[in-house]
Amino acid sequence: MLSSQNMSTNMEKLTRDKLSILNFVNLNGPSLSIKIAKAIESSPLFTSAFLSELYGEQKLKMSHMKVGSSHLYYLPNQEEMLEKFSEYLNEREKQALIKIKESKILKDSELTPVMRVAINSIKDFAIPVKVRIKDETNLFWRYFLLKEEETKSLIQKHLSISSKEKSPTVELKKEIPKIQETEEEKDKILKKMPDKIEKQIIHKEKAQKQESITKENLQILEKTKKQKKVISLKFPNFIKEYLEAKEIEILLEIEQKKKEFLAKIRIDTLFGKQSFFLLAKDKKKITENDLTLALQKAQTEKMPAIIMSPGNLDKKAQTYLKEYQNLIKFEQVNL
């Protein structure tokens, strides 16, 4: 059992180490945990624990961006210093940073799908701002160093310009009414005709009407099929755009369904290019079965697996992922 003196000594050391971390980050700016560990002469494991505590106490911030496989830790007033690490962004993300820096604000709905994914990936430099106009919510992105007042002013300016734009002119095509005989006049004409001719006319009218309906139905059916096909591929197309924005190469598209996409992909890592088997699922919850299925399919291809989804891992899936973390990875994507 630890004596009160030993406990007091340990507490003092913990406090001292945490203060050393804060002093180091204050002097050096955004830093990696491994550099901090060396500076305070502590193990990476203990340093990570201290950093988590300081982050939880809001004394330190953590970047969304990664340098290699690690996040950066920085003080609340050091956001501006993060930009010097932008070289670690991929090309699409660098383009997104240049665009947001030049424009200061960007309206999400006006971005291309690829740029939207890239902007969403640089949350350190692009901050989401939701603007409610009547019953509609508009999403804007602001440059991270832009002040609140300037942000409001630029968004108001953007919206006022948009509202002044002329609405597209809609021309209503007036149909010329066809001159039709009244039922009474039709009856008079038909009565004057021989029965055989009357039947031929009626049959011809019916056939023409049926042919018109059939052609119209076929056109509607064909249009509906095309629309369904586009809608059904919405999720696979989003995943492809997401991969493109992250500069992840698709080696082979294996299968795509309404809520699923399977492919072989290749990622640049610190140790060179690495191939993975990708299983993307549009689900609210990813289960242990989903991970097992992904891993089984990957093993048949002799590859590690990656599963992507907008959903979260349930408890069993989290346990499974820890157990097989060297063989399968999980990445949550925002639709």
Is the same domain home to 59 and 101?
no
How many Cβ atoms are within 10 Å of 305's Cβ, its own excluded? 22
Is the same domain home to 33 and 78?
yes
Give the dihedral sign, CA 203/205/211/214.
Answer: negative
**pLDDT value of position 222:** 65
**pLDDT value of position 134:** 74
**pLDDT value of position 159:** 81
Residue 167 has pLDDT above 90, yes or no: no
**pLDDT value of position 215:** 58
Q: How confident is the model at residue 171 (pLDDT cuts 50, 70, 90)?
A: very low
Q: Any residues with CB less than 8 A from the CB of 8 and at least 6 apart, and which?
A: none
Domain boundary among 109, 137, 162: 162
- Note whether residue 275 is domain-resident: yes
Residue 166 has pLDDT above 60, yes or no: no
**pLDDT value of position 94:** 92
Sheet holding 126-133, edge to edge: 105-107, 136-143, 126-133
- Note whether residue 187 is domain-resident: no
- Note whether residue 155 is domain-resident: yes
Is the same domain home to 98 and 52?
no
Is the same domain home to 259 and 274?
yes
Q: Minimum mean pLDDT among 175-189, 200-214, 287-301: which range?
A: 175-189
- Note whether residue 117 is domain-resident: yes
Q: Report the percentage of the chain scoring pLDDT > 90.
A: 41
How many Cβ atoms are within 10 Å of 147's Cβ, its own excluded? 9
- Note whether residue 227 is domain-resident: no
Is the same domain home to 57 and 28?
yes
Is the same domain home to 93 and 80?
no
Q: How far apart are CA 255 and CA 236, in angstroms?
A: 9
Q: What is the pLDDT of residues 173-199, one digit of tens each?
A: 333 334 344 445 445 444 544 454 445
Give Dmax over CA atoms of the chain in angstroms: 122
- Note whether residue 192 is domain-resident: no
CATH number at residue 113: 1.10.10
Is the same domain home to 121 and 148?
yes
87 by Cβ neighbours in 10 Å (0-12 / 13-18 / 19+) ranks as exposed
Is the same domain home to 240 and 321?
yes
Is the same domain home to 80 and 108?
no
Domain with 21, as residue range(s), is 10-84
Q: What is the pLDDT of residues 27-62, one digit of tens each?
A: 999 999 999 999 988 888 888 888 988 998 899 999
**pLDDT value of position 179:** 38
Q: Which helix (H) or strand (E) holds 260?
A: strand 260-269
DSSP assigned state of 84: G
Q: What is the pLDDT of residues 6-19, one digit of tens each?
A: 555 656 777 788 89
Q: What is the pLDDT of residues 81-122, one digit of tens each?
A: 999 999 999 999 999 999 999 999 999 989 998 898 899 899
Is the same domain home to 248 and 327?
yes
CATH number at residue 44: 1.10.10.10
Domain boundary among 162, 182, 208: 162
178 by Cβ neighbours in 10 Å (0-12 / 13-18 / 19+) ranks as exposed
Q: How far apart are CA 19 and CA 193, in angstroms?
A: 108
- Note whether residue 228 is domain-resident: no
Is the same domain home to 68 and 98?
no
> Between residues 333 and 207, which one has the greater pLDDT?
333
- Note whether residue 47 is domain-resident: yes
Domain boundary among 162, 184, 214: 162
Is the same domain home to 248 and 325?
yes
User: 3-class SS at 142?
Assistant: strand
Q: How far apart are CA 143 and CA 137, in angstroms?
A: 20
Q: What is the pLDDT of residues 123-154, one digit of tens each?
A: 999 999 988 877 788 899 999 999 988 998 89
Asked whether the whole model's pTM tops 0.85, one would answer no
Q: How confident is the model at residue 74 (pLDDT cuts 50, 70, 90)?
A: very high
Total domains in the fold of the chain: 3
Mean pLDDT over all residues of the chain?
A: 80
